Structure 1
Amino acid sequence: MSVIVLLPVYRPGQRLLSLITDLLGYDPNPIGVVVIDDGSGPSADAVLTAVRDLGCTVLRRPDNEGKGVALKRGFRHVAAAYPGVDVVTADGDGQHRAADIRAVAERSGRGSVVLGARRFDRMPLRSRVGNVAVDLLFRGVTGRALTDTQTGLRAYPAGLLTWLSTFPGERF
């Protein structure tokens, strides 16, 4: 799997460590895992130190500025440190399993964005409601049905990373 897995986190817990351990246990595993902490503060030190000890890159932001800002920083980092390598983003809170991340990664490398749809029983209620509304709007505008337009599990081609890091807006 020749991708970087990018995990934006805020106040990460044990689920993050489990996810990364599972990801790194695959053969072949990702080129690397980059974790972007979005201002969690000292309470996240132990978890993020354990993540770094697993061989992952950990980038920390001093303030919580939103998932969009964290992702942009991650895209810039990957574009500079791993030129030409695609990125798979995922949530580090247990919404996405390592097997799902791997499935999206295996579909990357074709020059297109790949969306990984979550099962609705694994999705927080707030996300479910928003997803239904956006899915209906998306279907009305494009004529195409997607089951999870709000997913954080996505593969982005390397060629889009610079553009994505300058895209307007800061929240997700």
Structure 2
Amino acid sequence: MDPTTVRSKEKEKEPVCVIIPAFRPEPDLPERIRAVIRATPCQMLLVDDGSGPQYRMAFDRAEDLPGCQVLRHRKNRGKGRALKTAFAFLQKQILEVEEPDGSLPRKRTRILCMDCDGQHLVADGVNLLNAAEKYPGSLILGARDFTGRQTPLRSRLGNRIISRIFYHAAGIWLPDTQTGLRAFDNSLLPLMLRTPGEGYAYEMEVLIACVREGVPVRSRNISTIYINANAGSHFHPVRDSLQVLAVCARRSRRCRKCSGRSRKRNEEKKR
């Protein structure tokens, strides 16, 4: 996340919730969260995925920020579970709010998921939120450019391979299947919550679930930033990549059966 302040529209048509799953974050995490809150009025849900007592201060400082709430796991449960913890909290919150006539709120909530490692710009997050407003019911992915010299070789090759495998499995080309910068509205929360997965492979499971259920998946270009050759990432290049590939292999047969129907629905929705 970039500290550059990017102002969104003064009048937000829809509530915004920003979700950041975090495991052993850098000490400047509160400053990054402050930059997001300054850029767009939002509810901030920060998930401490069992980081341990030595990281407590960073989360406590973040929770002191206006609009930021910390959800905590006693032990590390994985990025997918951390995201679903926030999704479940938000879904319950939305369902508990009623209009004066007793009905559920008609206004949609836009949701932005960001990583905690500082590699997502605030401006890119705001652009994805704007796209989610323009295309309700869609999943918006922040797609990085892996051709630059700043991209570590393992990231360049790994993402290219996984994108190709996903294309053969699902029939849809996505330039960045591993991006953690994603936006959508609360109509997709039930799908997110019932999608299996606890770790990094969960994000691939979500893409496959969207293809299977005909949810449009759209990509928007974002800045490609790697800090210290991605040293702050907790993604294990071998173990987690194998888990992601296993998801593609396991779901590929079912995806191929539905990808034709999904592509047709997606094209109709994009018009």
Q: Shorter-chain TM-score: what band?
A: 0.7 to 0.9
Corresponding residue for residue 144 of structure 2: 118
Distance 1:119 1:94 in 2: 17
Q: Judging changes above 3 Å, is the alpha-carbon distance between structure 1 residues 152 and 59 closer, same or farther for their aligned structure 2 residues? A: same
The sequence identity of aligned pairs, in percent, is 38
Question: How far has the Cα of 1:138 moved from its partner?
Answer: 2.7
Amino acid at match of 1:13: E
Cα distance, 1:61–1:94 mapped onto 2, change above 3 Å: same
Letter in 1 for 2:114: A
Provide the secondary structure at the position in 2 that maps to 1:35. strand
- CA displacement 1:28-77 (0-9 Å, x = unmatched): x2321110111001111111011001120100100101001101111001
Give the residue type in structure 2 aligned to 1:97. Answer: L
Measured against aligned partners, the alpha-carbon deviations of 1:73-123 in whole angstroms (never above 9, x if no partner) come to: 110011122454131101011121111111111111311000011343666
Unaligned residue ranges in structure 2 (runs of 5+): 1-11, 96-107, 201-271
Q: The residue matched to 2:143 in structure 1 has which SS?
A: coil
In the alignment, structure 1 segments of 5+ residues that lack a partner are none
Larger Rg: 2
TM-score normalised over the length of structure 1: 0.88
Query: How far is 1:161 from its partner?
Result: 0.9
* Deviation at residue 7 of structure 1 after TM alignment: 0.3
Equivalent residue, structure 2, for 1:8: 21
What does 1:49-64 correspond to in 2, within 5 Å? 49-55=60-66, 56-64=68-76
Q: Does 1:46 align with 2:42?
A: no
Tell me whether 1:102 sits opposite 2:102 in the alignment.
no
Alpha-carbon distance in structure 2 between the residues aligned to 1:42 and 1:130: 33
Cα distance, 1:12 vs. partner? 1.2
Q: Does the Cα contact within 8 Å between 2:23 and 2:48 map onto a contact in 1?
A: yes
CA 1:40–1:92: 2 relative to 1, 3 Å: same
Post-superposition shift, 1:146? 2.4
Q: Report how many aligned residue pairs link the two structures.
A: 170
2:37 counterpart letter in structure 1:
L
Q: Which has the higher contact order (CA 8 A, sep 6+)?
A: 1
Q: Where does residue 47 of structure 2 map in the other structure?
A: 36
| Kept in 2: contact 1:131–1:150 (CA 8 A) | yes
8 Å CA contact 1:36–1:60 kept in 2: the answer is: yes
